[in-house]
Amino acid sequence: MTHRRLLAILIGLFVGYMGAGWLVVLWMSGPRRKQPWATPASVGLGFEEIEFQSSDGVRLSGWWVPAENSSRAALLIPGWGGFKFDDHLLQTVPVYHGAGYGVLLLDLRAQGESGGARRTLGYREVRDVQGALAYVRRQGYAVDRIVLHGWSMGAATALRAAPGTGVAAVVEEAGYADLPLLLRTNLKEFVRLGALLEPAILLAGKLLPDFDPWDVAPKKEAAILSDEGVPLFVIHSTDDAVVPYEQALTLAKAYPQARFWKLEGYGHVEAYEHPEYARRLRAFLETLG
């Protein structure tokens, strides 16, 4: 075999390897549209269908659940491939509503009924939360009376969006503290041959103009929130097969004063099924004054 032929084979293998990584990134970041199969009416609550814009101009779809004589609001943020009508969001709305909170549920960009061409695993979704905060403030709520509550990617997004805003608190369920570490250790859970393709996937993600997975490390924002004194409630199960429990421990290390609930025997974003869930969430909200 000549050196030229060997070089051509190696180049072909490299291009194929990088191409496979690129295809995985396009799949992971591609839009996931779906019409609602449930609404807040499914849990006995009235609501308004709303639209607003992210801070970079993406059209976002949401539901606003008003509360009578309310001075507090909660923003509920779904995860990667999740929707405003997921069970864990809808079952959480009555907890907040019963505590006197108006509640905004939204579809993040490129998910559900929202616009946008690409999901970015918590990178640009921060701008969706910024837009949602602006909407709630236009309803007359002060930012220091607004709680951000996110699940999985939504939890990472809530953490990344919170510093410097003055929000009342952040509730973080089953979120990741370090996206590059999660991708390196758990790609096999999402993608066949993910461990083998990991370098190509991470490089391809970084080459996208609107996505930098290396920048999504909410442990940094958790440390900032600790310095700012913004209350944080971390909820995570040791049996989470999607986002390992060790990611929650990383957040706890970054924010040692955070309230921490360690569950056992529950899967990813399944804490709402625990009989103590509503009581523990209400107890945290009561600490906010």
What mean pLDDT comes out for the span 7-19?
A: 54
Average pLDDT, the chain: 89
More confident residue, 104 or 210: 104
Q: Residue 142 in contact with residue 206, Cβ under 8 Å? A: no
pLDDT at 189: 58
- Of 232, 103, 44, give the one whose Cα is nearest residue 155: 232
Assess whether pLDDT exceeds 80 at residue 201: no
pLDDT at 194: 47
**Domain map of the chain by residue range?**
1-30+181-216, 34-178+217-286
Q: Is 253 a residue whose pLDDT tops 60? A: yes
* 143-154 tens-digit pLDDT: 999 999 999 999
**Count of beta carbons in the 10 Å neighbourhood of residue 60:** 26
Mean pLDDT of 219-230: 98
pLDDT higher than 90, residue 184: no
For the domain spanning 34-178+217-286, the CATH number is 3.40.50.1820
Nearest to 77 by CA among 145, 156, 134, 169: 156
Judge residue 274's burial from the number of C-beta atoms within 10 Å of its C-beta, 0-12 exposed, 13-18 middle, 19 or more buried.
middle
At residue 93, the pLDDT reads: 98
Mean per-residue pLDDT for 126-146? 97
What angle in degrees, to the nearest 10, is found between the helix axes of 245-254 and 219-228? 40
What is the reported pLDDT for 208?
Answer: 64
Residue 2 has pLDDT above 90, yes or no: no
Predicted structure pTM score: 0.89
Band (211; pLDDT cuts 50, 70, 90): confident
The pLDDT, as a whole number, for residue 26 is: 59
| Per-residue burial over 7-44, b = 16 or more CB atoms within 10 Å of its CB, e = otherwise | eeeeeeeeeeebebbbebbeebbeeeeeebeebbeebe
Over residues 26-67, the pLDDT tens digits come to 566 778 999 999 999 999 999 999 999 999 999 999 999 999
Residue 214: predicted pLDDT: 79
**What's the confidence (pLDDT) of residue 256?**
97
Residue 207 binned pLDDT confidence (cut-offs 50, 70, 90): low
- Residue 193 has a CB neighbour count (10 Å cut-off) of 11
